[in-house]
Structures are given as C-alpha cells and as structure tokens.
Amino acid sequence: MSSTFLNLIKARRTHYGLSKVSTVSDEKLRSIVEEAALHVPSPFNIQSGHIVLLTGKSSDKLWNDIVKPGYLKKFVGDEATTNLYTKKINEYAAGYGTVLFFEDTALLDGIAAKIPPMAPYFPVWSENATGMLQFVVWTALANEGIGASLQHFGAYSEEISENVRKEFDLPSTWKSTAMMPFGVPTGEPGHPGRSKTFNAIEDRVKVFN
C-alpha cells in the first residue's frame, strides 16, 4: 500500500543527538544494509554502491581518530570554529555506529568506457544511485527507532577518504559519498528549537490531466 510506504518515509528525520544504543542486533543492522544494497537500483544495474557498516570501536575510531583530526587539519579555523566542529564530530561519535557509503569508480569507469555516448552522464547517475541507497538505509533505520544524520567528511577531504580506506582495508577505487552516524536518538529531530518547514507544495508539484 502506498500509504504505508509513505508513512515509513515520514518517520525518517535528521537526528544529531545520538546514543550508543541500538534497538536491533548487529545481525539485523547487517541485514538492513545488505537488503538495501541488493534492491536499490543503479544505472545499467552496475551495482556501484558499496557500504561499510561500523559499530563499536570501529565507529569511534572513524570519528575520533580519522575524521576529527583530518577535518580540523584541513579547515584550520579560529577557536570558536574549531570548538563548533569538535562538538559536532563528538555528536556523531556518540552514536552506536556509522554506515559508510561508497561508489566504486572502477565499475563506473568500466561501463562508461563500454558506452562512450553515455560516459558524461555516469558521474551524475552515480550520485543519484548513492542518494537512493542512503535514503533507503536512513528510512529503514528510522523505522527500527534508530536516528541518523547524513555527513560528507570523505568528500571534504581526500586525506580523510584515504585514511578510511586504509583503516578498513577498502579498494582505492571506492569513492566516499556519505557517512551516516546512527543510534537511538537522545532528543527531538533537527536543530534544537527549529521545527522543519515546508515550501508551498503547489509550487513544487504540478499535475496536468
């Protein structure tokens, strides 16, 4: 039923306040990301989307030992900015785990070489495909009572990306597209005191018969 599906979608929000608690087992978390990876579509079914699921010490290591020093080194700022980003990254580190999303550029380059007229479009299709995958995982977690947010530290810094690949022994062709820290939420979604707003739907959706 589409209404059931849309209700599942509405349950997904951005949660920054996270705890080191999961409502489901690590096995169930693995099954959620595996099902998403299997069934979310990709251009020409090349299955360029790849996922790394981190929990426990591995997720802590990502945020505390790779992202935090890498980000603060790249974006050297004044004390206030440093404190702000340290606080934000500590929030992501406070979660139960992190889902890392990648696109395998070897697969994308391979298919682009086989179909030269389509080659210019693969980078955009790759971004579309990883977005679909991220959305499905985010929504599936939300429907297990798990909060998450979407971060892009791999894109901000090649050094962070490289250190992630090194730490988790990933192929050099895996391009980081997003990092999703998750855990049972400690509070309301979004930024404190700011409710989510919606632009007029008539301006966004047109229907013609």
* Other Cβ atoms closer than 10 A to 131: 16
Answer for which of 7, 11, 14, 123 binds ligand FMN (CB under 6 A) is: 14
Question: Which residue from 203, 199, 95, 110 is spatially nearest to 148, judged by alpha carbons?
Answer: 95
Q: How far is the CB of 110 from ligand FMN (least distance, A)?
A: 26
Structure tokens given for 156: 């901000």
152 binds ligand FMN (CB under 6 A): yes
Please give the C-alpha separations between residue 130 and each of 2, 103, 125, 136, in angstroms, as whole numbers: 23, 7, 9, 10
Q: How many helices (H) does the chain have, and how many strands (E)?
A: 10, 4
- Asked if residue 91 binds ligand FMN (CB under 6 A), the reply is no
| Angstrom distance (rounded) from CA 180 to CA 92 | 9
Phi, psi at 22, each rounded to 5°: -120, 145
Q: By C-alpha distance, which of 197, 209, 203, 153 is closest to 178?
A: 153
Find the shortest distance in angstroms from Cβ 86 to ligand FMN.
15
Residue 149 touching ligand FMN (CB under 6 A): yes
- When asked if residue 191 is in the footprint of ligand FMN (CB under 6 A), the reply is no
Task: Give me the least distance between CB of 16 and ligand FMN, in Å please.
Answer: 7
**Least distance to ligand FMN from the beta carbon of 38, Å?**
22
The count of residues interacting with ligand FMN (CB under 6 A) is 10
151 part of the interface to ligand FMN, by CB under 6 A? yes
Taking contact as CB under 6 A, which single stretch among the options 2-10, 76-84, 112-120, 189-197 is the one that binds ligand FMN? 189-197
Binding positions for ligand FMN, rule: CB under 6 A: 13-14, 131, 149-152, 189-190, 196
